[in-house]
Amino acid sequence: MSQDTPIRTGRPRTPKLLIAVDLLAIPLALLLSFLIRFEEGSQSMELFAANWPALLIALTVKPAIYWRWGLYAASWRFASLPEARRIAEASIISSLLFILANFVVLEWFDLTFIFSRGVLVLDLFLSAGFLAGSRAAVRGIQRRKYNDRPDRRDEKRVLIVGATELGDLAARMMRKDPTTGYVPVGFVDDDIRHHGSSIHGVRVLGNTKELPMLIEKTRSDEIVVAVGDSSSKEFDDTMSRCASLDLPIRVIPGVRDLLTGSLNVDQLRRWRIVEDEDSHASGQEDMNFDRLMVTGGAGFIGSNFVHHMLGKYPNLTIVVYDKLTYAGNPANLDGLTEKCGDRFVFVKGDICDQSLVESTIAEHGIQAIVNFAAETHVDRSLMTPDAFLRTNVFGTYVLLEATRKHNLMRYLQVSTDEVYGEVEHGAFVETDPLETRSPYSASKAAGDLLVRAFHTSFGVPVIITRGSNSIGPRQYPEKVVPLFITSALEGRPLPVYGDGGYVRDYQYVVDHCRGIDIALRRGRNGEAYNLGSGNEMAALELAKKILKALGKPESMIRMVEDRPGQDRRYALSCAKIKALGWTQEWNFDRALHDTIEWYLANEQWWRAIKNDDYWEFYKAQYEDRLKKGTLHSAASPT
């Protein structure tokens, strides 16, 4: 259905009634035009009667255009921009065709035609008024008939969260079209400027903190969330508050429905949180593990996770299983043997080596696997996609098969927000489709689907986490934040792709690790959980912040050729993991400050890993781009 198609109400169609009304309204509009233009009544009536050929043309042309423009397709729910536009278009086009036929066709056949331009202009406006008024009247009659029906008791009382334009649209839809089965009983909004006001006769009652009291007061049956223009963090906070309430929740899909006026009740998406019987909110105890296998545990996020878990759980043993590729660094695990003794074990191995994976599980009595092992850099995936498929897909299969064979308690797949593709407005929820745009994200999405398939087909207890961009200690300097920091410290230019307007959500790695821990222990089998901070920032702004923190000039920024398939924006809704008890502890400024301080204090670490392999990649990826790049305009000489 196109965006301009009238919305069906579910009531019987009424084209015959509307056609009959139009066949009366068309001559009436023309008659009134003569009466207004020529003040003398008898003269007006004579002229009207004499112009019967023009009236016949009007009765032929105008209904045909109305039909072509869909004005007989259905009864309209409520006045909206698309409806007004459709009526205006049909009125103007039908009147113009009528005028053309009047001056050309009738004169050609030497028939009487309307010579007064004033009559024709008046007819245009009166016809438009009758056209809109007739439809409003028919809808009003149907609404009154519906209101008298005894089955109105089945309607649901709805509390709308968000006194926004989307909320306005939802309330208008419900008030004007009773067949939706919803009755708005109030608005809730955290902006105190809205409190006490009315929207379509529905009052703004209070803020989201008062939801439990307001639900009881209004005897609400459902909640409709209409905060589509909010940031992902604001949306998460709203959904987290709503998730604690024992009511169904529906979410307005997005801003596009507001702009097109195409919102209908079937588009209100049912929002599903972890079911009560399996959720942390029900009071169920956390799962406990004595022996974890952390694959890819020598990498950036994996090593931070190992440090976090061994520090938090004194009775936990972790076996780190890592191939030690370029991004896997044994130095990331320094100090753990001395600090934790035999609670920390390292095994060098490839997750694609099924025999070694299974023997490691059996030897150490592993209870659960947390899989960080992956090829993760988008730029490298454009050069050697086969390596990404091998590790991220086949390696995932090997681990899942081992989990199934050894009957482990849980398998957690650490994934990425990039599997969703880009989003222009709002934020992704876990049930959104996967729309990948690079070999890296495609391989991670394939791994996610394989994880889901093993759960559905074999009952393997799995969890998926999808994280946004992490920053913090021990990150290999191919990623944007350590690349910018170390390049600035070395006096090298900072390469910013394209116009620098692509947006990412940056979270501190410890927050990410805490979220993985919570999902591992409290998550529901078969579910995915988004993990992000809502700290959205464009690459150019990020480069400026890093240079400012280091006391370096913006002239170090180089705008370089964009990479293929660059996603413009990522954003995650994290309400689901927040409902399990996760909260963000590092805001962006603190996260970036702590990250920069770590690289300043650990220069020996990052200089050591900038080896021949690193510089080979750097040369292939950036050398030509930097030669052709331009100074950021704000830093260019004037």
Question: Which of 145-149, 267-271, 529-533 comes out lowest in average pLDDT?
Answer: 267-271
* Identified catalytic residue from 417, 527, 536, 567: 417
What is the distance between the alpha carbons of residues 295 and 351, in angstroms, rounded to a whole number? 7
| Closest listed residue to residue 320, CA positions, set 307, 309, 306, 334 | 306
Cβ atoms < 10 Å from Cβ of 208: 18
Higher pLDDT, 257 or 423: 423
Ordered by where they begin, the domains of the chain are: 15-147 (no CATH), 152-271 (3.40.50.720), 291-485+506-542+566-595 (3.40.50.720)
Q: What is the pLDDT of residue 4?
A: 36
The structure tokens listed for 619 are: 């040369």
| pLDDT more than 90, % of the chain | 40
Segment 604-621, tens digit of pLDDT:
999 998 988 889 888 888
Mean pLDDT computed over 587-610? 94
Cβ atoms < 10 Å from Cβ of 574: 32
Higher pLDDT, 317 or 11: 317
Whether the pLDDT of residue 77 is over 60: the answer is no
* Identified catalytic residue from 72, 321, 411, 440: 440
Residues 6+ positions from 579 with CB-CB distance below 8 Å: 240, 243, 244, 273, 274, 279, 280, 281
What is the phi/psi pair of residue 324, to 5°? 60, 55
What is the distance between the alpha carbons of residues 572 and 580, in angstroms, rounded to a whole number? 16
Segment 373-425, tens digit of pLDDT:
988 767 787 887 888 889 999 999 999 999 999 999 999 999 999 999 888 77
Higher pLDDT, 632 or 168: 168
* pLDDT band at 247; cut points 50, 70, 90: confident
Whether the pLDDT of residue 275 is over 60: the answer is no
Higher pLDDT, 52 or 354: 354
* Identified catalytic residue from 418, 430, 517, 536: 418
Segment 323-341, tens digit of pLDDT:
998 778 899 999 999 999 9
Mean pLDDT computed over 13-34? 82
pTM over 0.75: no
What is the distance between the alpha carbons of residues 85 and 63, in angstroms, rounded to a whole number? 17
Mean pLDDT computed over 74-103? 73
Mean pLDDT computed over 221-245? 71
Is there a catalytic annotation at residue 417? yes
Q: What is the pLDDT of residue 55?
A: 83
| Closest listed residue to residue 605, CA positions, set 510, 470, 474 | 474
What is the phi/psi pair of residue 492, to 5°? -95, 155
Amino acid sitting at position 476: Y
| Closest listed residue to residue 563, CA positions, set 472, 438, 467 | 438
For residues 415 and 380, is the Cβ–Cβ distance under 8 A? no
Name the most confidently modeled range: 214-223, 316-325, 569-578, 610-619: 316-325
| Closest listed residue to residue 129, CA positions, set 25, 19, 38 | 25
* pLDDT band at 359; cut points 50, 70, 90: very high
* pLDDT band at 488; cut points 50, 70, 90: very high
Q: What is the pLDDT of residue 19?
A: 86
